[in-house]
Amino acid sequence: MSIVIAGVSKAFVGFRALNNVSLEVPTGQLVALLGPSGCGKTTLLRIVAGLDTQDSGAVLFDGTDMSQVSARDRGVGFVFQQYALFRHMSVFDNIAFGLTVKPRSERPAANAIKQKVEQLLELMQLGGLGQRYPSQLSGGQRQRVALARALAVEPKVLLLDEPFGALDARVRKELRRWLRKLHDELHVTSIFVTHDQEEALEVADTVVVMNAGKIEQVGSPDDIYDSPASPFVYQFLGDVNLFQTNANRNARAERLMSTVYARPHELHLERVPSDREGIETRLSGQRRIGAVVRLLLERTDGGGVIEAELTHERYLSEQWRDGDRVWVRPMHPRRFSDAVH
Amino acid sequence: MSNTLNVDPADLSRDYFRAKAWRGHFRRPSVLPGFGLTFGFTLFYLTLIVLVPLSALFLKSIQFGAEAFWIAATAPRVLAAFRVSFGCALLAAGLNVVFGLLLAWVLVRYRFPGRRVCDALVDLPFALPTAVAGISLAALYAPKGWLGQYFADWGIKVAFTPLGIMVALLFVGIPFVVRTVQPVLENFDLSYEEAATTLGANRWQIFSRVLLPALLPATLTGFALAFARGLGEYGSVIFIAGNMPMVSEIVPLLIVTKLEQYDYTGATAIAVVMLMLSFAMLLVINLLQAWARRAEQRR
């Protein structure tokens, strides 16, 4: 089922959550809505689900306007950040809930429900946990139960609101790989909301970067990372160094003041300047984080601190010491005219 | 894993815990000092305020001998009063649960002008002298009263019948239900209902299968409190009940009547039976509540 979001706006008291947002999600895709908290991504997801209503615009499933269709009848599966599992029901009953509330004429027989739930438990790697209660499960297991519950009614669209937000880093990594695998098996059109750029880049077919109620960029993970459309996208996707070009002696080409963006691991670091473009700095601090070492380089012209990242191997072989003089040159400088801001 | 000690650690810990078990029932490690003092005070206070008066009642009843006790406690008028008291209190508490839930729901879930005033009104039955409530209810529901006249048209007599007792108990009991359910409802995350909605449940299914089980423990507490209050209620009931023996006479009134006739045996016997019945019922409700709470969030 394809989803079309056409010019959706939504305002809460004293605050515009969504400002004329349009987006197309083709059938079978896994799309990430990525953005900082308060950017409207969750509101958009809830509008698609029918849990909130838009002030203007429309949501279409396969070309049909869903505005007048209630959340109950939209056929969406929704997974909440805090799981929202029914605490007084066993895992089995939680998963079976959507099937047992169907009108008598559509409700599968008890046997069929049992079979379906068992099958989902297997799929979710929860075999044997059917009689447990949600409070007896770990966070990762609970989220998988929530997912199984949403999938039990065979939704045409799966919506996940920060599905891994409440989990610790390791479980999170495991679950997102597993979600990707699950999606490759089921091919149900899915949208998930996240504020974690790594999660979005790793899991999604298409990443939608949002900021302040608007879509900044839509593209494949590679597109988004390699050619960010705006300074916001660039900064949101990872650490970044800013260079004002008018401080650069070689700024003849552009009289317009602009800022160059470069990621910490995309810098040439030289002990001896190879051309006149390098920025002279002094090494003022270093910190190892696992496989990488982060260097703090203070510009000798007083232009602030540049952050650089090296592999630990290179760091060891090159013997860096505090106070070393280093010339820095961005490898793939990205220029955004300041007028864009 | 190397186990050089040749001792199963489980055995060690089992002995350790067995030794500590007795103490452990009474005491848990805590950052707050003074368990001995505070526990002692709790026992002393409960004894002084609750246990001593009640045991005095029991001791007094023993003086009269079993036969006199039995005759006094099973007199037809006494049995009728028990029926009236327990029947009305149960029915009133049941009705209060239904409407108390509704009230709490409206107060928590909707924002409307005057909500705070409504919220404050709920507490009034706590504060109002019960006699005042009884007199005004009696005046209102009397066959010639503002409200009573309309009931009279339908041939229903409210004041001076068991129905009047119910009305008084509804009045005094409602805050107990609202005030116990309200905080639970306030903390009940909307996402549970939203989850149920997206799974295709209709409003009734959400209420009966998601909301009600979560509210059950608090609702039972409210029911127990309203019921207990209804059993003991005296002031508001006697003005509206009519107090006809065998029909609309409540137990507390019967006890006072016996005392006024210097029938200490009768008064004490009724009081003891009342006490035991109430205690038994409250115990059952408490057990139910504990069961519901366990069922609601199994750990």
Residue at which a domain ends, from B40, B63, B86: B63
Q: Kindly state the DSSP code that residue A171 receives in the 8-state scheme.
A: H
Claim to verify: residue B82 and residue B19 sit in the same structural domain? no
Which residues of chain B are within 8 Å of residue A73 when distances are taken between CB atoms?
Answer: 200
Placement of tokens 């947002």 in the chain: A21
Which residues of chain B are within 8 Å of residue A82 when distances are taken between CB atoms?
Answer: 189, 191
Looking at residue A251, what is its pLDDT?
46
Q: What is the pLDDT of residues A140-194, one digit of tens each?
A: 899 999 999 999 998 999 999 998 887 888 888 888 888 898 899 888 999 999 9
Sheet holding A292-299, edge to edge: A267-270, A325-330, A279-289, A292-299, A305-311
Distances (CA, A) of A266 to A220, A302, B132, B163: 21, 22, 83, 85
Claim to verify: residue B137 and residue B211 sit in the same structural domain? yes
What is the C-alpha to C-alpha distance for residues B119 and B109, in angstroms, rounded to an integer?
13
Does A247 contact B at CB distance below 8 Å?
no
Looking at residue B17, what is its pLDDT?
57
Does A136 contact B at CB distance below 8 Å?
yes
Q: What is the pLDDT of residues B84-130, one digit of tens each?
A: 999 999 999 999 999 999 999 999 988 999 999 999 999 999 888 98
Q: Kindly state the DSSP code that residue A278 receives in the 8-state scheme.
A: P
What is the C-alpha to C-alpha distance for residues A183 and A196, in angstroms, rounded to an integer?
19
Claim to verify: residue B12 and residue B157 sit in the same structural domain? no
Does B8 contact A at CB distance below 8 Å?
no
Cβ contact, residue pair A101, B196, below 8 Å:
yes
Average pLDDT over residues A95-106: 91
Cross-strand pairs, A218: A208
Average pLDDT over residues B139-156: 86
In angstroms, the separation between the Cα of residue A223 and the nearest Cα of chain B is 34
Claim to verify: residue B26 and residue B72 sit in the same structural domain? no
Number of domains, chain B: 2
> How remote is the C-alpha of A220 from its chain's centroid?
12
Placement of tokens 């706590």 in the chain: B126
| Average pLDDT over chain B, rounded to an integer | 85
Q: What is the pLDDT of residues B280-289, one digit of tens each?
A: 888 888 888 8
Within 10 A of A264 (CB to CB), how many other CB atoms are there? 18
Looking at residue B5, what is its pLDDT?
47
In the predicted structure, residue A257 carries a pLDDT above the cut 70: no
Closest CA to B236 of B147, B132, B142, B160: B132
ipTM of the complex: 0.81
Does A105 contact B at CB distance below 8 Å?
no
Claim to verify: residue B123 and residue B31 sit in the same structural domain? no
Cβ contact, residue pair B201, A97, below 8 Å:
yes
pTM for this one?
0.76
Claim to verify: residue B86 and residue B157 sit in the same structural domain? yes
CB A191 within 8 A of CB A25: yes
Task: Report the residue of chain B nearest A152, measured CA to CA.
Answer: B199
Q: Which A residues 149-208 touch B at CB under 8 Å?
A: 149-150, 152-153
Q: What is the pLDDT of residues B202-240, one digit of tens each?
A: 999 999 999 988 888 889 889 999 999 999 899 899 998
In angstroms, the separation between the Cα of residue A53 and the nearest Cα of chain B is 14
Within 10 A of A190 (CB to CB), how many other CB atoms are there? 26
Instruction: For an interface test with A, give the residue of B111, B192, B194, B199 to mutate (most A CBs within 10 A).
Output: B199
Cβ contact, residue pair B198, A49, below 8 Å:
yes
Within 10 A of A154 (CB to CB), how many other CB atoms are there? 13
For residue A267, give the 3-state DSSP assignment: strand
In the predicted structure, residue B138 carries a pLDDT above the cut 50: yes
Which residues of chain B are within 8 Å of residue A51 when distances are taken between CB atoms?
Answer: 194, 197-198
Q: Which A residues 38-57 touch B at CB under 8 Å?
A: 49-51
Does B199 contact A at CB distance below 8 Å?
yes
Distances (CA, A) of A114 to A75, A110, A129: 21, 6, 14
**Between residues A330 and A151, the one the model is more confident about:** A151
Claim to verify: residue B14 and residue B99 sit in the same structural domain? no
Residue at which a domain ends, from B24, B42, B63: B63
Residue at which a domain ends, from B11, B37, B63: B63
In the predicted structure, residue B297 carries a pLDDT above the cut 80: no
In the predicted structure, residue B299 carries a pLDDT above the cut 50: no
Claim to verify: residue B2 and residue B91 sit in the same structural domain? no
Give the whole-number percent of chain B exceeding pLDDT 90.
Answer: 40
Retrieve residue A301's tokens. 């012209």
Claim to verify: residue B31 and residue B146 sit in the same structural domain? no
Retrieve residue A75's tokens. 């056929």
Segments forming the whole domain that contains residue B48: 1-63
Task: Report the residue of chain A nearest B211, measured CA to CA.
Answer: A86
Q: What is the pLDDT of residues B32-50, one digit of tens each?
A: 777 788 889 999 999 999 8
Cβ-nearest to B197 among A71, A133, A152: A71
Claim to verify: residue B49 and residue B86 sit in the same structural domain? no
What pLDDT band is residue B13 in, cutting at 50, 70 and 90?
A: low
Does B297 contact A at CB distance below 8 Å?
yes
Closest CA to A236 of A206, A194, A292, A266: A194
In the predicted structure, residue B241 carries a pLDDT above the cut 90: no
Q: What is the pLDDT of residues A34-50, one digit of tens each?
A: 999 888 999 999 999 99
End-to-end, the C-alpha distance of chain B in Å comes to 30
What is the C-alpha to C-alpha distance for residues B177 and B105, in angstroms, rounded to an integer?
11
Cβ contact, residue pair A97, B299, below 8 Å:
no
CB A129 within 8 A of CB A137: yes
Does A108 contact B at CB distance below 8 Å?
no
Cβ contact, residue pair B297, A77, below 8 Å:
no
Retrieve residue B64's tokens. 């009269």
Claim to verify: residue B162 and residue B21 sit in the same structural domain? no
Average pLDDT over residues A117-142: 89
Claim to verify: residue B136 and residue B15 sit in the same structural domain? no
CB A174 within 8 A of CB A208: no
Looking at residue B94, what is its pLDDT?
95
DSSP labels for B240-283? HH---TTTT--HHHHHHHHHHTT-HHHHHHHHHHHHHHHHHHHH
DSSP labels for A80-112? -TT----TTS-HHHHHHHHHHTS-TTTPPPHHH
Within 10 A of B13 (CB to CB), how many other CB atoms are there? 10
Interface A:B, Cβ pairs < 8 A:
75
For residue A252, give the 3-state DSSP assignment: coil
Within 10 A of B21 (CB to CB), how many other CB atoms are there? 9
What is the C-alpha to C-alpha distance for residues A220 and A230, in angstroms, rounded to an integer?
15
For B146-155, which contacts have Cβ atoms below 8 Å and span 24 or more sequence positions?
A: none
Cβ contact, residue pair B194, A80, below 8 Å:
yes
